[in-house]
Structures are given as C-alpha cells and as structure tokens.
Structure 1
Amino acid sequence: MSLPIFTVDAFTKSAFSGNPAAVCLLESELQDDIYQKIASEMNLSETAFISKCQPQDDFSSGSHFGLRWFTPTNEVALCGHATLASAAVLFFKKKNSNSLLTFETMSGELTARLEGDHIILNFPSYLPTAQNPRDIKQFLETAIGDLDAQEVCYSCETKKLLVRLSDQYDRATLESLSPDPLSLMKSENTGKVKGLIITLKGNPSHPGGHDFYSRYFAPWNGISEDPVTGSAHAVLGSYWSEQLRKKQMLAFQCSKRGGELQLTMRDNGRIDIGGHAVIVQSGTLTI
C-alpha cells in the first residue's frame, strides 16, 4: 500500500523553522497499530492522518474530513500545528476549492479557514485554574530551577501545567531554561500532567512586539520540547487574555526553531489560532 505523505513546517513563513509535522492522506482507515507505527517511523512531534468521511469524497473538493494525531509514542486528543499542517496540504497541495474546512476529531469539530496564505484554526479554549506552588515545589525546581514563578495554573481538560515566570525576567531567561525530560517525568509521575507550559509576559509596545512568550515540554508524550504548540495556546490564550484584558494577541514560542501565533478569543468559549505553513517535503509512504 502506498500513501501520500508530506512534511510541513507550521506557524512559520520560512522552511526549517516553526514546528514540523507529517501529514498522511488516507483513502480508507488503517488498522489502529499502523497509525502508531507510521508516527514512530516519522519521529516528529506529531503525525496527522486525514481521512474521508464518505468514500465518494475528494481531497480537492470535500470540506469535511476526519483527523487524528499521533506522537511517536501515543495518540493525542488535540494538536494545533499538525492541524495547521493538514489544512495547508489540503489548501496548497490538493488545491481544495473550499475556503473553510471542518475536521472531525477527538476534541470535536475543528475548522480551518484560508485567508490569503494565512490559515486560521478555530479551537476550544481552556482557562486554567490557579494552583498552590508549594504543592508542587519539587516539580517546579526541576522545571525552572531557582527562578521565581509568579503564578502556577493547571488545565484539567488538557492536563497541561502552566508556569508563569516573574515579570522581572526577560525573553533570554526563558530561552536559557533546559529542564531535563527524565527528571520532569520522575518528579511528576501521577498522570495528572502531560505537558508543561512555561510562559512570560511580553512587550507589545515595541514594533512587532509580542504579548507573551512561551515554551512547551511534553516528555510524558515522547516530546522533550515541542517547537510551536497550538494546543498549548488554547490554554495560554485564555490565561493571557484575562491577564492582559485583550481579545487579540500576538504570541511567540521561544524554542530553537521558534514560531509566531496570532490569537483571537471568541465569546463562545473558543479561540482562533492563526499562522502560516511551509510544505517542505512531498512523497509516498509504502507499507
């Protein structure tokens, strides 16, 4: 069996930056174990699988598709950059005639709309709740060392822990962090946390300035550090919207590859996450 497969750098205008995802187009469903084997073979933070909802559907004209995401070790319920990558393949490679696509996923219906060369995802948003830092003192020391945490919050829906660094720090401080993946998993092994967000207030008053910065670590899902994470911004957007009292924000994820996200909070408990994508590889997977 041969399957069309693509590598897409998401949340960037330039190749070799942003977050790479593999995107596989399926004419029919695969056996469950094959999804995981392909994702492990691709060895990217996520591999997305786009399937037809009806056998007569076409990737160039259909507007409704199934979508699943797999890390190298397991299936996940929500992934932003691989959804952006999937939409980019349909819009730019398959020349899909629709400006709005709907994906059926484990997190319900997600949409992607095309505006020029810009793709806007509509995701659920998750407002995290404040936690007592003393309850996770050892984990915080593993994550940020002796830096001060201004606030710690938790999103039970996504199992993501958000750690906001003190406003006294700058972007360079955030970029200097290097938490050890094995130590993170050892200090938090209850299953409660599946992803660690470390974030810092930005300076939007500067030209091209960002409202906030972040990094994201998910060794519990086989990802030491994710370069640019749409699902984390479903949490970050809600948190910073409250903190900054803003509906529209520009965010930057400060990994080595880096990526920019445009966020708009909606009144229906959802968030628009916008970005660009670059298709860097097209090929065929033989299984």
Structure 2
Amino acid sequence: MQIPIFTVDAFTNRPFSGNPAAVCLLENDLDEDLHQKIATEMNLSETAFIRKLHPGDDFSKKNTNSVLTFVTLSGELKARQVGDHIVLDLPLYKTSPQVLQEVEELIKAAVGNLIVQDLRYSPDTKKLLVRLSDTYERSVLEKLQVRAQDFLSAEKTGKVKGLILTLKGNSPGNHSGHDFYSRYFAPWVGVLEDPVTGSAHAVLSSYWSEHLGKKEMLAFQCSRRGGELKISLRSDGRVDIAGKIAIVLKGNLTF
C-alpha cells in the first residue's frame, strides 16, 4: 500500500520554522493502530489523516471554500483556506485572576526574577497565563532560558497542564506590528516547548483582546522555530486563527 504524505510547516511561509505537521491523504480508512504507527514513524505529534467523505472527491482539486473537519482528543477542529492562509476555527477561552501564592514556585521556575505584570488561569484548558512586564522587549522573552522539566516538580496544585508566557507587543523599535508575543510549555503532557500553539492562542486571544481593546490582532510565538498568527475574534464567541504554510516534504508511505 502507498499513502501520499506531506510535511507541512504551519504559521510560517519559510521552511524549517513554524509548527511542523505530517498530513496523510487516505483513500480508505485505516485502523487506529496503524495511525499511531505512522505518527511514530514520522516522529511528529501533529499527524493528520485526511479521508474522502465521498468516492468522487478529488484531492488534487483546489477548493478554497471547503472546510476540513479534524477529529482530535480535544474535539472537532475545523480548518479552511482563505487566500494564502489556513484558518482554524477555535473556541475562545476566558481567563480569571490567579493567586500568585498558589503557583509561586512554578512562576519562579519559569521566569526567575523577571517582573510578572499579570497572572491568569483558564479553567477550561487548564492553562496558566503569565504576562511579563511591559517594560521588557521581545528579546527578553526569546532569550529566557527555561527548563520546562523543572515545572513538573514545581507545580503543586495539580491544575496546571500548560504554561503560557506572554508579553505585550508594539514596543519602541518594533516595526513588525505584532500586538503580543508568547512562548508555550506543557511538560505535563509531554511537550517541553511547543513551536507554535493554536490552542494557547484561543486563551491569549481572549486575554489580549480585553486588554488591548482589539478584535483583530497579529501575534508571534517566540519559540526557536517561531511562528506568526493572525487573530480575528468573532461575535459567536469563537476565534479564527490564521497562518501561512510551507510544504517541505512530499512523498509516499509504502507498507
């Protein structure tokens, strides 16, 4: 059997940056065990399997009006193409103030002596949002040396499954137009640092929209690979998160 497969870097238009994912095009269903084996072979946690809903569907035809629905552990994820961007349709998650004393050891492990301007928690996603002082430049976030493995012993509450570090954009000398920056860590689920994270921006979008008074924003995730996200809050309580892609590999799986 041969299955067409692609490696795609998302939230970027440059190879070897953004968030890498494998995409398999399936003519027929595969069992779950084979899905797992293919994902292991590709060594990418983001491995998507796209199957035709109707026998007459043609993968080779471009249809920018079509919507792809992915079944994930977090529920259905819908994606569509708009121009040169892929748009993810995600729920918008609110945050509430977090008491510093409950997570003080975790914050210390993450940012050391850096000044924390705000601290929020998203109960729906179990993500802790840590906003650094507006006095810091983007480079402070990028150069921050983080040992995410230390978070496991530092987090005593048992309620945090993801840590977002974020910083307001548009600092002096910033010509990129980014409204905010972030980095994301989730060693509790096996991800020391994620290159670019759509789900984290479903939390960040809500937070920064409230604080900046904006529904349309441009964000940048400052991981080693880096990625840019266009954000648009909708009136139905959801958020569109868009990014460009770079296809870096095309081939066939043979087995």
C-alpha contact (below 8 Å) 2:166/2:180 kept by paired residues: yes
Q: What is residue 12 of structure 1 aligned with on the other side? A: 12
The Cα offsets for residues 130-167 of structure 1, whole Å up to 9 and x where unpaired, read as 11111111111111111121112122222221111111
**CA shift for structure 1 position 200:** 0.3
Distance 1:29 1:21 in 2: 20
Q: Is it true that 1:105 corresponds to 2:71 in the alignment? A: yes
Indicate whether 1:169 and 2:136 are aligned: yes
Q: CA 1:169–1:195 in structure 2 vs 1: closer, same or farther (change >3 Å)?
A: same
CA distance in 2, matches of 1:240, 1:3: 42
State yes or no: 1:159 paired with 2:126: yes
Partner residue in 1 for 2:237: 269
Structure 1 residues 121 and 133, CA gap change in structure 2 (3 angstroms): same
CA contact (8 A) 2:196 2:227 kept: yes
Q: 1:185 to 1:43 in 2, by over 3 A?
A: farther
Gap change, CA 1:25 and 1:137, over 3 Å in 2: same
Report if the CA contact (8 A) 1:102-1:109 is conserved: no
The answer to whether the Cα contact below 8 Å between 2:10 and 2:244 also exists between their aligned partners in 1 is: yes
Contact 2:110 2:148 in 1 (8 A): no
For residue 36 of structure 1, what is the amino acid of its counterpart?
Q
Residue in 1 that maps onto 2:31: 31
Shift of the 269–48 alpha-carbon distance from structure 1 to 2, 3 Å rule, reads: same
Aligned residue runs from structure 1 range 186-265, under 5 A: 186-188=153-155, 191-203=158-170, 206-265=174-233
Q: Give the secondary-structure state (helix, strand or coil) at the position aligned to 1:146.
A: coil
**What is the deviation of 1:202?**
0.6
Matches within 5 A, 1:17-166: 17-52=17-52, 54=53, 56=55, 58-60=57-59, 94-106=60-72, 107-166=74-133
Residue aligned with 1:99, SS: coil
8 A contact 1:100–1:111 mirrored in 2: no
Q: Which has the higher contact order (CA 8 A, sep 6+)?
A: 2
What amino acid sits opposite 1:262 in the alignment?
A: K
Report the TM-score when normalising by structure 1.
0.80
Moved more, 38-47 or 5-14: 38-47
TM-score scaled by length of structure 2: 0.90
CA contact (8 A) 2:129 2:164 kept: yes
User: Structure 1 residue 245: deviation in Å?
Assistant: 0.7
| Structure 2 counterpart SS, 1:196 | strand
Give, as a single letter, the amino acid of the residue that structure 2 aligns with 1:132.
V
Change in CA separation of 1:35 and 1:152 when aligned onto 2, cut-off 3 Å: farther
Three-state SS of the structure 2 residue aligned to 1:167 is coil
Identity of aligned residues (%): 58
- The 3-state SS of whatever aligns with 2:146 is coil
Distance (Å, rounded) in 2 between the aligned partners of 1:51 and 1:252? 32
Structure 2: 5+ residue stretches without partners: none
**Deviation at 1:59?**
4.8
Q: Contact (CA 8 Å) 2:117, 2:133: kept in 1 or not? A: yes
| Counterpart contact for 2:179–2:219, Cα < 8 Å | yes
Give the Å deviation of 1:225.
1.1
Is 1:45–1:223's contact at 8 Å kept on the other side of the alignment? no
**Deviation of residue 40 (structure 1)?**
2.6
Aligned to 2:203, what secondary structure does the other structure show? helix
Please give the alpha-carbon distance, in whole angstroms, between the structure 2 residues aligned to 1:122 and 1:273: 7
Aligned residues: 253
- SS of the equivalent of 1:203 reads coil
Q: Secondary structure at the match of 2:140?
A: helix
Distance 1:167 1:243 in 2: 12
Q: Compared with structure 1, are the counterparts of its residues 217 and 135 closer, same or farther at alpha carbon in structure 2 (3 Å cutoff)? A: same
Q: 1:45 to 1:110 in 2, by over 3 A?
A: closer
Q: Residues 109 and 96 from structure 1, CA distance in 2 versus in 1: closer, same or farther, beyond 3 angstroms? A: farther
Given that 1:204 and 1:211 are in contact with CA atoms closer than 8 Å, whether structure 2 keeps it comes out as no
